[in-house]
């Protein structure tokens, strides 16, 4: 689908004062090399202070930089979602795997946000799930609701439970994972979130649901909301998600041909969400049906029955 294009707008901060525009663009959008930015500049796609830029300009703090990206054909994505809850204050939907929650990484129209707003124009997501992650996404329809949910999102007042299929057979039935999460270098996009001793405190509790000969099915409860938290945490204890193209067995990006954060191939599902309605006080228990790959399989045996962490 050819979209309408988009104007990416930034304000030059003081730390970039004096930098040349071309080098700034290449560092601001590391997915494109300087040669690509020279072509875009020559095509008149970039303005600095409302003037068409050449790339040789020296930046001044406070200037407005705009990249007027022409319309492009977006990658395919599912065009459906299921409504799980709908009232004047809240909306909860079941997002399919492969559909981004918000615009980014080449997606603008093919997003859950765009699809939802066609039916619910005032809805704003309280959190996001990764593109390949399926399950519950909660939207607020009013500012009051959004403020209340955002304030409580990473507290025990809101319970978030996921299901994940991971590599290797777990030796224990439950794990409390406290691996800090922070940014680490990535060769293709500059940096990604990963296990990092100097990162932010994070907590997940993973319980084994079933084991097979080479995999473990986990139920994971989140107690913080770091980006890609479940993928990083399970990886950090030696159980990266089956098919995860980004994270290896230590919570770090894979060294050879590293994937990107939005790449799919793994099975992770936001299954349960429990909280008190911010307006009515009602206890709400939401459940999104499991995809087939995360349901208990006949051959499985043993074990016990926010940026979110996906």
Q: In this structure, are residues 228 and 268 in contact, taking their beta carbons and an 8 Å threshold?
A: no
| CA 53 to mean position of chain CA atoms | 33
Q: What is the largest distance, in Å, between two alpha-carbon atoms of the chain? A: 66
Q: Which domains does the chain have, with CATH numbers?
A: 6-69 (3.10.290.10), 82-294 (3.30.2350.10)
Radius of gyration of the CA atoms of the chain, in A: 21
Over residues 218-263, the pLDDT tens digits come to 999 999 999 999 999 999 999 999 999 999 989 999 887 667 777 8
Q: Answer whether 132's CB lies under 8 Å from 265's CB.
A: yes
pLDDT at residue number 260: 75
Residues in contact with 295: Cβ distance below 8 Å, sequence separation at least 6, in sequence order: none
Query: Please, what is the angle between helix 21-28 and helix 34-42, to 10°?
Result: 120
Do 7 and 68 meet the contact criterion of CB atoms below 8 Å apart? yes
Beta bridge partners of 135: 95, 270
| pLDDT (0 to 100) of residue 72 | 94
Running DSSP on this structure, what letter comes out for residue 240? P
Q: Check if the beta carbon of residue 127 is closer than 8 Å to that of residue 150.
A: no
Residue 36 φ/ψ region, left for φ over 0, alpha for ψ in the -120 to 50 degree band, beta for the rest: alpha
Helix (H, G, I), strand (E, B) or coil at 124: strand
So what's the pLDDT on residue 304?
38
pLDDT < 70: residue spans in the chain:
257-258, 297-310
């Amino acid at each position: 689908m050819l979209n309408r294009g988009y104007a990416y707008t930034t304000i030059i901060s003081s730390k970039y004062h004096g930098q040349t525009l071309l080098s700034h663009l290449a560092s601001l959008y590391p997915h494109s090399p300087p040669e690509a930015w020279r072509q875009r500049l020559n095509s008149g796609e970039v303005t600095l202070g409302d003037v068409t830029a050449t790339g040789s300009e020296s930046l001044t703090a406070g200037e407005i930089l705009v990249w007027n990206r022409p319309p492009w054909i977006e990658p395919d994505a599912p065009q459906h979602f299921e409504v799980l809850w709908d009232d004047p204050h809240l909306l909860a939907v079941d997002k399919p795997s492969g559909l981004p929650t918000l615009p980014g990484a080449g997606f603008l129209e093919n997003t859950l946000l765009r699809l939802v707003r066609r039916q619910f124009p005032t809805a704003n997501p309280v959190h996001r799930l990764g593109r390949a992650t399926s399950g519950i996404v909660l939207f607020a329809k009013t500012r009051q609701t959004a403020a209340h949910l955002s304030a409580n999102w990473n507290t025990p007042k809101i319970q978030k439970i996921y299901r994940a299929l991971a590599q290797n057979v777990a030796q224990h039935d439950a794990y409390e994972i406290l691996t800090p999460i922070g940014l680490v270098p990535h060769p293709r996009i500059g940096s990604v979130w990963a296990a990092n001793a100097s990162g932010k405190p994070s907590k997940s509790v993973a319980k084994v649901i079933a084991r097979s000969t080479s995999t473990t099915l986990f139920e994971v409860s989140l107690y913080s909301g770091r980006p890609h938290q479940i993928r990083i945490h399970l990886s950090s204890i030696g159980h990266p998600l089956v098919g995860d193209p980004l994270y290896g067995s230590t919570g770090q990006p894979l060294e050879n041909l590293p994937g990107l954060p939005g790449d799919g191939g793994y099975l992770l599902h936001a299954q349960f969400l429990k909280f008190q309605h911010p307006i009515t006080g009602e206890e709400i228990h939401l459940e999104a049906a499991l995809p087939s790959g995360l349901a208990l399989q006949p051959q499985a045996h043993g074990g016990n029955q926010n940026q979110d962490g996906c």
